[in-house]
């Protein structure tokens, strides 16, 4: 259940919609059983070992490569598998993971479902101590409370003891008894019982920056802010679009138009259809090719139009999501990995590899990095400094290894990659995951206040950059309303694939 790019290679996250490769068909249940050392189904077949839960007829069909050495060995394997099955099916409902989700391919899970699956994989192993890093990221509000209650129950029963790693701006659950605080330089600044250590609460986080939220979106809409230029043709439009997987209707008659300058929050609980809708907007979903332009229009044409060939449509789109974050290659420089600057520059073509780029593009990369370089840190949380103790210049930061950055710093670099070309449409799916408070605030300010973040070597370039950024249509998904940018004036809320709220 770990990162998709653990090997450092790029992993095609868009395959989740087609499950083309055989390994993409491995279900969550099969992955969890393998974690408990009981390979079944496709995992067992891929490992060339017998499946203890297979029927006798199925076992007879693969005698030879998949044969137990004795009847006693088969019975022992069956007993272990039944015990593992009981553990999974007892714990899964507590994390709102249904039987249908258990038997869905791992790659087809939504971001929030994947987060819950990773928590489940951590809890079923029987470990005495489990460390959960940002367990509430990408999780809707109701499920966060459910998880918090579950963690409290498990921790109180000492099965297992839990250590939660949270961002400084996150609310701390009631179950926490002790707090260890680390500053931006990775130094411990306080440790002790909760009562003796100041901690943020759900009402005190985000106090240094204006909070976003539903009321802010509604107020902006009433004031004509963030609605986009409806006098211009829609960049992307959907008219009564539905998507169905088997008997499940994932999207039901969706209507949506993205006009230049639109600022749209896409809301909804985990599994409500947001991921599928974003895939249509990005042209990633295989079914996007089946719709005529009258139903799904991407830049005035159907998805299969020559002008929407992948290399061309990539130049009009910017994208950041947990799936892209996990899939992005992270090889060390010695093995051909990318530098920070090369990762940002890859956004000009929206590719996942090193590309040649012009001197003008290089200057733009440096200009963007200069606005965030003080927040780009090592995995230990410290900013990079020169041998004289001064902050590194932007060119030196640009030459650093992307793989050698902290989680939040990698998220910032991938955000800059998404915006480097000033795409016509920018899709940000949980872009703030892993970022600390200052990183979140700077990224939100960059979106909200273009005039405060000047990019360009000349006055003409700066003016052009400002105009392009103002006309960029932005779609945001974030389950933390306080982190929504404050210039968004539209909202679309989904529930079970249906639109239940529209601002």
CA atoms of 384 and 128, how far apart (whole Å)? 37
Q: What is the pLDDT of residue 66?
A: 64
DSSP state of 471: T
Partners of 429 in beta bridges = 477
Segment 462-472, tens digit of pLDDT: 999 999 999 99
Residue 417 has pLDDT above 90, yes or no: yes
Residue 304 has pLDDT above 60, yes or no: yes
Q: What is the pLDDT of residue 206?
A: 43
Residue 295 has pLDDT above 50, yes or no: yes
Q: What is the pTM of this model?
A: 0.82
The two counts, helices (H) then strands (E), for the chain are: 17, 13
Chain centre distance of CA 84: 29
Q: Which domains does the chain have, with CATH numbers?
A: 4-198 (3.40.50), 214-502 (3.40.50.300)
CA atoms of 281 and 232, how far apart (whole Å)? 18
Chain centre distance of CA 32: 21
Q: Under DSSP, is residue 385 helix (H, G, I), strand (E, B) or coil?
A: strand
Residue 231 has pLDDT above 80, yes or no: yes
pLDDT band at 2 (very low <50, low <70, confident <90, very high): very low
pLDDT band at 207 (very low <50, low <70, confident <90, very high): very low
Q: CA quadruple 106, 280, 484, 442: dihedral positive or negative?
A: positive
3-state SS record for 37-104? CCCCHHHHHHCCCCCCCCCHHHHHCCCCCCCCCCHHHHHHHHHHHHHHHHHHHHHHHHHCCCHHHHCC
Which residue has 């099955």 as its token pair? 85
Phi, then psi, of 299 in degrees rounded to 5: 55, 50
Mean pLDDT of 436-464: 92
Mean pLDDT of 118-143: 86
Segment 399-411, tens digit of pLDDT: 999 998 988 999 9
Contacts of residue 174, Cβ cutoff 8 Å, sequence gap at least 6: 148, 152
């Amino acid at each position: 259940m770990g990162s998709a790019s653990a090997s450092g290679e790029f992993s095609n996250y868009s395959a989740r919609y087609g499950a083309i490769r055989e390994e993409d068909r491995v279900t969550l249940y099969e992955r969890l059983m393998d974690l408990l050392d009981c390979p079944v189904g496709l995992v067992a077949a891929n490992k060339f070992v017998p499946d203890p839960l297979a029927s006798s007829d199925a076992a007879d069909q693969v005698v030879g490569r998949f044969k137990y050495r004795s009847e006693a060995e088969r019975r022992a394997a069956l007993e272990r598998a039944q015990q593992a099955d009981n553990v999974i099916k007892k714990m899964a409902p507590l994390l709102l993971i249904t039987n249908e989700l258990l038997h869905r391919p791992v790659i087809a899970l939504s971001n929030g479902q994947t987060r819950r699956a990773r928590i489940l994989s951590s809890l079923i192993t029987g470990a005495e101590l489990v460390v959960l890093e940002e367990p509430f990221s990408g999780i809707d509000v109701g499920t966060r409370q459910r998880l918090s209650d579950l963690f409290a129950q498990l921790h109180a029963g000492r099965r297992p003891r839990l250590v939660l790693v949270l961002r400084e701006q996150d609310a701390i659950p009631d179950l926490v008894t002790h707090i260890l605080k680390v500053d931006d330089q990775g130094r411990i600044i306080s440790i002790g019982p909760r009562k003796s250590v100041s901690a943020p609460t759900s009402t005190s986080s985000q106090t240094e920056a204006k909070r976003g939220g539903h009321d802010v979106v509604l107020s902006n809409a009433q004031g004509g802010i963030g609605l986009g230029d409806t006098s211009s043709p829609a960049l992307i439009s959907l008219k009564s679009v539905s998507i169905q997987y088997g008997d499940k209707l994932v999207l039901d008659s969706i209507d949506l138009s993205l006009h230049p300058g639109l600022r749209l929050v896409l809301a909804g609980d985990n599994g409500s259809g947001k991921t599928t809708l974003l895939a249509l907007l990005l042209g990633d979903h295989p079914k996007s090719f089946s719709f005529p332009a009258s139903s799904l229009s991407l830049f005035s044409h159907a998805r299969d139009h020559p002008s929407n060939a992948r290399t061309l449509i990539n130049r009009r789109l910017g994208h950041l999501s947990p799936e892209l974050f996990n899939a992005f290659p992270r090889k060390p420089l010695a093995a051909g990995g990318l530098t920070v600057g090369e990762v940002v520059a890859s956004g000009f073509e929206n590719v996942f590899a090193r590309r040649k780029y012009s001197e003008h593009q290089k200057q733009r990369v440096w200009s963007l990095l200069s606005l965030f370089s003080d927040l780009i840190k090592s995995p230990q949380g410290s900013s990079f400094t020169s041998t004289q103790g001064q902050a590194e210049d932007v060119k030196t930061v640009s030459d650093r290894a992307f793989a050698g950055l902290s989680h939040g710093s990698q998220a910032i670099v991938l955000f800059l990659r998404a915006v480097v070309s000033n795409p016509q449409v920018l899709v940000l799916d949980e872009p703030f995951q892993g970022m600390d408070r200052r990183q979140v605030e700077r990224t939100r300010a960059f979106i909200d206040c273009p005039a405060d973040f000047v990019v360009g070597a000349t006055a003409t370039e700066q003016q052009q950059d400002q105009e392009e950024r103002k006309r960029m249509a932005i779609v945001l998904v974030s389950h933390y309303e306080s982190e929504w940018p404050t210039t968004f004036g539209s909202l679309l809320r989904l529930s079970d694939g249906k639109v239940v709220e529209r601002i």
